[in-house]
């Protein structure tokens, strides 16, 4: 089949909830994707952060083959060895003491919200409300959507779940204005990906932690996109030397397979009892069997350090381009999740890069987002920088 054939079948049979590019990829290797016609693209979108190890990574491929020959699924009616092992690995690297596994980032957020509500019910005046931040993105299910403070995602699905209040990112006074004795939790992305690649201010995050402790409020960090080494640290919140109560992980955790993890600390997990939450497929043998090996690689200190170094190089060179081209207003982000705020629609850059066989994506209307596989080379980064330079020169 040709790309045209695939597009035709998609239009005819698949519910149209995506604005897709006219591309259909058939295979991939390393940081490259090949479409049905044989054209090779350098991927600087990495499946929106999922493909941290790129494509056809030998470790991931071998883990998939090995686990497929053992057992794929038994359900959580029984103990799952690789699930227990993965939970232990995650907890050994952070504040967490227990992990709930599900199938996606939005499900992991839903779990975090439910756990916080359950925790809040222990008070004589139950704590049931949440604070989220302008331009946040926490997922598409109704609870996660209620915490996603962007009108373009929420408007068509109102009324939303009640009890969610909006504050301004990096503005502690705005948080205090909406905090009440009914506030159960504050949920925040340490680095807002979809909302414009905005990295949290360290003083703000420390003040947020302090407020939560003083007011007996849970702090939830959503690291679905910015976690697992993406920012140059294994867990993004550790840039700020804070201790959250709940952390949400997902995208890269299983090498491209669907997974979500809600990591809970000592204030939360004792409140949860059998029957309070569940997931049929969550944490099954196949997914966690693969994720154990992926986690070992992503959490290796030398691997994390390499991400930090490559991210710093990408950011530095983008700052040099900003000095050269006034159309770049700001360089944002951390590690290998970096954005360039432009004075023109980001879609123009996305389209130009696509013609040059490079995949990038936008974060909002004016931010060009670079989110490559974490295995990307310096040569690949240079190619992207050169292409961006040429695009900006031609546009000037």
DSSP 7-31: HHHHHHHS---S---S--EEEEEBT
pLDDT in tens, 318-356: 999 999 999 999 999 999 999 999 999 999 999 999 999
Asked if 131 and 218 touch (Cβ cutoff 8 Å), the reply is: no
What would be the CATH architecture of the domain defined by 61-298? 3-Layer(aba) Sandwich (3.40)
Q: Residue 222, preceding bond cis, omega within 30 degrees?
A: no
Task: Quickly name the fold that domain 3-56+302-395 has.
Answer: 3.90.1150
What pTM was estimated for this model as a whole?
Answer: 0.97
- The arithmetic mean of pLDDT across residues 48-66, rounded, is 98
Give the tens place of pLDDT for each residue, 276-287.
999 999 999 999
What does the radius of gyration of the chain's CA atoms come to, in whole angstroms?
A: 21
pLDDT reported for residue 341: 98
Q: Could you tell me the pLDDT band of residue 396, with boundaries at 50, 70 and 90?
A: confident
Indicate the domain borders of the chain.
3-56+302-395, 61-298
Range 343-348, long-range pairs (CB < 8 A, 24+ positions):
344/395, 348/395
**Cβ neighbour number for residue 56 with a 10 Å cutoff:** 12
Mean pLDDT of the chain: 97
Q: Residue 25 is encoded by which pair of tokens?
A: 């990829």
Quick: pLDDT tens for 201-245: 999 999 999 999 999 999 999 999 999 999 999 999 999 999 999
pLDDT tens digits along 110-154: 999 999 999 999 999 999 999 999 999 999 999 999 999 999 999
Dist. CA 179–CA 332, nearest whole Å:
28
């Amino acid at each position: 089949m040709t790309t045209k054939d695939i597009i035709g079948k998609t239009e005819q049979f698949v519910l149209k909830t995506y604005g897709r590019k006219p591309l259909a990829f058939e295979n991939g290797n390393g940081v490259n994707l090949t479409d049905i016609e044989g054209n090779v693209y350098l991927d600087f979108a990495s499946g929106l952060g999922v493909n941290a190890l790129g494509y056809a990574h030998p470790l991931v491929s071998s883990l998939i083959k090995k686990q497929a020959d053992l057992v794929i699924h038994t359900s959580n009616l029984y103990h799952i060895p690789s699930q227990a092992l993965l939970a232990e690995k995650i907890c050994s690297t952070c504040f967490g003491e227990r992990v709930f596994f599900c199938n996606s980032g939005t499900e992991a957020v839903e779990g975090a919200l439910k756990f916080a509500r359950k925790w809040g019910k222990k008070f004589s005046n139950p704590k049931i409300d949440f604070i989220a931040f302008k331009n946040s993105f926490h997922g598409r299910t109704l609870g996660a959507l209620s915490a996603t403070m962007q009108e373009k995602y929420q408007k068509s699905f109102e009324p939303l779940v009640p009890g969610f209040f909006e504050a301004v990112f990096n503005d502690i006074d705005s948080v205090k204005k909406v905090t009440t004795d009914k506030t159960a939790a504050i949920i925040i992305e340490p680095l807002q990906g979809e909302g414009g690649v905005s990295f949290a201010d360290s003083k703000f995050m420390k003040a947020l932690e302090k407020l939560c402790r003083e007011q007996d409020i849970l702090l939830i960090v959503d690291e679905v996109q910015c976690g697992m080494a993406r920012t140059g640290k294994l867990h993004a919140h550790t840039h700020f030397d804070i201790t959250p109560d709940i952390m949400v992980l997902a995208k890269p955790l299983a090498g491209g397979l669907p997974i979500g993890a809600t990591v809970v600390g000592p204030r939360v997990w004792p409140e949860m009892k059998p029957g309070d939450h569940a997931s049929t497929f969550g944490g099954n043998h196949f997914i966690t069997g693969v994720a154990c090996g992926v986690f070992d690689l992503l959490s290796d200190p030398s691997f994390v350090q390499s991400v930090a170094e490559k991210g710093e190089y990408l950011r530095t060179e983008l700052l040099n381009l900003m000095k050269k081209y006034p159309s770049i207003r700001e360089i944002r982000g951390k590690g290998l999740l970096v954005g360039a705020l432009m004075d023109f629609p980001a879609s123009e850059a996305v389209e130009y890069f696509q013609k040059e066989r490079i995949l990038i994506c936008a974060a909002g209307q004016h931010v060009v987002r670079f989110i490559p596989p974490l295995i990307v080379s310096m040569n690949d980064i240079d190619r992207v920088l050169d292409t961006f330079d040429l695009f900006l020169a031609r546009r000037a």
